[in-house]
Every structure is written in structure tokens, then in C-alpha cells.
Amino acid sequence: MTTVTTAPAGPETPTRRAAPRTRRRDRLRPWLYLMPAAAVLLPLFGYPISMLGLLSVFDYRQAQVSGGEPTTFVGFGNYAAVLGDRRFWSVLTQTAVFAAALVAATLAVGAALAVVLSRAGRVPRLLLSLAAMAAWAAPAMTGSTVWMFLFDTDLGLVNQVLGIEGFNWFYDRWVAFGVIGATVVWHSFPFVMVTLYAGIQAVPASILEAAELDGASAWQSFWRVLVPVLRPLITIVVIQSIIWDFKVFTQIYVMTDGGGIAGQNSVLNVYAYQTAFGSSEYGLGSAIGVVMTLILLAVTLLYIRALYRRGESL
């Protein structure tokens, strides 16, 4: 019989001792990279959010601002008033529907132009890219003012081209939402277009050529080849658009003069502003702002999760 002798384990080598230290350093390295940005962003966003939360638990009105009356702690009273207000739920529903329509329209326009960009020649591609970047770079206030002038009742170019006299595009609720939505999409589609165009450029040409050889049309190639490949990017773009469109303020406030007739075009951001500064109920307006922040935080967590999953899939 042969006896197998196991040699005793030798002393721990320096490499073995250094391995846990290296792993610990690797885990800490991303946090070290984030510290400079955190040092700037945390005070910049942390202080306003903390003050918003603090005001939301007090009965804070114009009398308290001027120092005429003491501030009264109401706890969750403002939140109970907000959540028990029919107006709040109506505006929240209107905001969600409006944001959903904007996201769908922005995605459709951006995806279509991304495909056009990938198939266009050098000069048309350059001109389309410059036009899109100009729309993206335009401030929301400037773009809203220009679109208001285009749809002006008396001097608007749209009425003159259509041969309509004296038609007010901002009188009816849904027509006004349509014009405002077109303005928001005009501001937002370049981000979707550029992002999806970059994704399309990363798709191997052999895949599209194989689909064309199999007899797939342009629509079938897009829907059955490009969309599955671009799904991670599309998810990120959709969540980012939800965050942007849910908190639209400037276009609606400027183009409808504060929310339209009797507030018919109000969204949650405008409603919070009117409550806080129009009615001088700063505590109540702060509570609306906190609720809106929590909703956007939930969407942001979905956005971060989508980014994480995309990083794992690459």
C-alpha cells in the first residue's frame, strides 16, 4: 500500500495577507471618487430639501414670515390636508397623464429621428444634429416665449398659415396642453435622439444586413432587431424623461399665465407654487413639494437600478 503524506500548510505569504487589503481598497475606491462631487452636491441640495421638510411640519404663512405671529408646529397636519384635498388628487392625476403623454411623444420623436440620423448622409446628419442641439440648448423661458408668439391669437404665424382669425390656442384645456406638450417635446427629444443614435451606431452592421437578407422591412428591422438590443438604453431614457416631464413648470406657467383659466392647466409643480406663493401657505406648499420629491425619488431609484442592470449586462 502506498501512503500519501500531506505536507503541512506553509506560513501565510505576503500575497495572501495583501489580498483582503486590496479588496477593501477596491470597495472604498468608488466612494473616494464620489467624495468631491458629494462635498458640493450634498450642501447644495441637502439644505433646501431639509428646509422644505422643516417648513412642511409648521403652519407657516405670511404672518409668520413677517414675524407678526409665532410659528405653530402642526406635525403631519399639512400632509393630511394635502392628501385629503380633492384638488391635489385631481392635479396629480392630470400631471401623471400629461407626463405619460409627453414621455410617449418624446420617445416616438426621438427614436424616429435617431433612425433617420443613422441613415442620413453626412450633410443632412450634421444639419439635423445642429438643429436638435439648438432646441436642447434653448432655455425653457426663451422657447416658451417663442412658441407663445407662434400661436398668438392675433399675430401668430400658425393662425396666419392656417388662415384662422382670432383663435386662442390657450383657451381650451386640451388644446393648450397640446401646444405646451409640443413645446416640451421640442425641448426634450434631442436627448432621446442622441442617446438612441449612439446605441444604434454600436449595433453591428452584420445583424441589420442579416435581417435585410431575410426579407425584413425597415419597420421589422427596427422593431425586432434594434428595439431588443436598445432596450436597456430605452429604459434609461424613459425613466429620465418621466423625471423631467413630471416636474414641468416653466412652459406651463409661462404659456398659460400661471396655470390657465381657473387653474385648468395646472400640474403638481405649478399647484405647489400657487399654494405657497399665491396663497401664502408656505407650509402647505412645502408639504406638496415633499410629496412630489418622494414620488420623483422613487422614479430615480428605478433609474439607478436600470443603470446598474445595464452596467451588469455590458
Cβ-contact 188, 135 below 8 angstroms: no
Confidence of residue 35 (pLDDT cuts 50, 70, 90): confident
- What pLDDT does residue 15 have? 53
Coil, strand or helix at 153: coil
Q: Domains along the chain?
A: 62-313 (1.10.3720.10)
Encode pLDDT of 216-236 as tens digits: 777 777 777 788 888 888 888
* Mean pLDDT value across residues 274-292: 90
User: pTM of the full predicted structure?
Assistant: 0.81
Q: Which alpha helices (DSSP H) does the chain contain, by range?
A: 14-55, 62-65, 77-83, 86-119, 122-137, 140-150, 157-162, 173-202, 205-213, 218-221, 227-246, 250-255, 268-273, 282-313
Please state, in angstroms and as integers, the Cα–Cα distance from residue 175 to each residue in 123, 161, 191, following that order: 36, 18, 26
- What pLDDT does residue 301 have? 85
